[in-house]
Amino acid sequence: MEVMAPATINALNGSSVKLSCTFNSCYKVENKQFSLNWTYQECSNCSEELFLQFRTKIMNKQLDRFGNRVEFTGNPAKYDVSFTLKTCSWRTRAPTTATC
């Protein structure tokens, strides 16, 4: 499996931004067998925090830093596991890392 995501994404304060993540697979995606995790890491020495998970259905972990601003906008059947972060703020500024 190959996972593809942009190395850097920029967003204006107050805007929404889509964090794209797509993948290639030689297998058809079956929701019963498919899983994904999105994690957030505020700094290189910080622990990763799970904030979005797919196990049969999407489960938004509602981290305090994101509240209800995370919306899954991908389609696993089309090999897309992207999400949109609404109303970006200086609290979610670089250097931060989101990993799918």
Which domains, ranges and CATH numbers included, belong to the chain?
2-99 (2.60.40.10)
Q: What's the pLDDT at 88?
A: 81
- 10-residue mean pLDDT series, the chain (100 residues): 82 87 87 84 85 81 78 90 84 62
CB-based contact 83:98 (threshold 8 Å): no
Q: What's the pLDDT at 69?
A: 86
Which CA distances in Å does 18 have to 30, 36, 74, 77?
A: 24, 17, 10, 18
* pTM: predicted TM-score of the whole model, two decimal places: 0.78
Q: What's the pLDDT at 80?
A: 92
CB-based contact 28:42 (threshold 8 Å): no
